[in-house]
Structure 1
């Protein structure tokens, strides 16, 4: 097993354990929920095969559904993020293009790029998740507040996670 695959396997296990054991019970003011497991999909390499990405997204989401007893809503939201991720990456392609070894991470792509990429995909994930959970558009004001608070809470935790555990690299200076 190559070190690349091992690193992503460890990342999957760590993010799943964090989500299931810690983040499940961490809620800010009954509004902000933290879903760090989505970081696994966000941090995958840029050039990953699209079918593999969707399979990994489904496995990630269904794993959370098994522990949260949520009948597929996490899987649906995560697969949607996996589906939209290549389009978002194409939209945010730098002028020089991506390098084949690039990961979608703060340390390799920079703050502005990562925050744009992360916030948009987190908003899509949380919007899908909360409205599927509600099974409609009732309580839209409270649900929108949950989406916004959860997006920024999850985004902040993922940025902290990256700053603590990812190697320090600046794009162009490897």
Structure 2
């Protein structure tokens, strides 16, 4: 029964991240230079033990859903699949000395600020680089595109950090 519960929780998370992004967050733009890709929280905060095939399928489904809402022709799907592909590599790169526990999740309270900051910055920057370079289609306005990548990555990272601090449980050590 826990497998069905896990599936239902993930479907609810998917709908919540997409709904909040489409209905609220997508309207927030910083100086016509920064956009918040709030829906990435669904992929970034998946359980660490999620198999890569499942991550890739979820990434494609999420990206395609966002592409359907914004008529972006696969840009979100391509960048999200890249994020889903690179996530296990980044998790391996950041593996703690004792390794991950089977019950570990991506949680700033559990993994610590430094680990979470590096994890979030790496994956969000890689996603944004792919998205904005694909959107640009050339290297003609590279300076402006780099500015969009940086401001959007900071905006997205800050929004996802706030979500972590407000909605993810603080796990106390056993005493």
Question: The TM-score by the shorter chain falls in which range?
Answer: over 0.9
In structure 2, C-alpha distance between the alignment counterparts of 1:24 and 1:18, rounded to whole Å: 8
CA distance in 2 between partners of 1:163 and 1:71 (Å): 34
Q: Provide the aligned length of Structure 1 versus Structure 2.
A: 173
Offset of residue 110 of structure 1: 1.2
5 Å matches for 1:92-111?
Answer: 92-111=94-113
CA distance in 1, matches of 2:87, 2:145: 24
2:150 alignment partner in structure 1: 148
CA distance in structure 2 between the aligned counterparts of 1:97 and 1:135, rounded to whole angstroms: 40
Work out the CA distance in 2 between the residues paired with 1:57 and 1:120. 17
1:80 corresponds to 2:85: no
Segments of structure 1 that go 5 or more residues without pairing to the other structure are none
Structure 2: distance between partners of 1:94 and 1:5:
28
- CA drift of 1:6 comes to 2.8
In structure 2, C-alpha distance between the alignment counterparts of 1:173 and 1:141, rounded to whole Å: 50
State yes or no: 1:70 paired with 2:72.
yes
Q: In the aligned structure 1, how far is the partner of 2:56 from the partner of 2:34?
A: 27
- Report matched runs for 1:1-174 at 5 Å: 2=2, 3-170=5-172, 173=174
Structure 2 unaligned residues grouped into runs of 5+: none
TM-score norm. by structure 2 comes to 0.94
What displacement does 1:173 show? 4.3
**TM-score using structure 1 length:** 0.95
Distance in 2 (alpha carbons) for counterparts of 1:138 and 1:173:
55
RMSD in angstroms over aligned alpha carbons? 1.4
**Per-residue deviation, 1:5:** 2.7
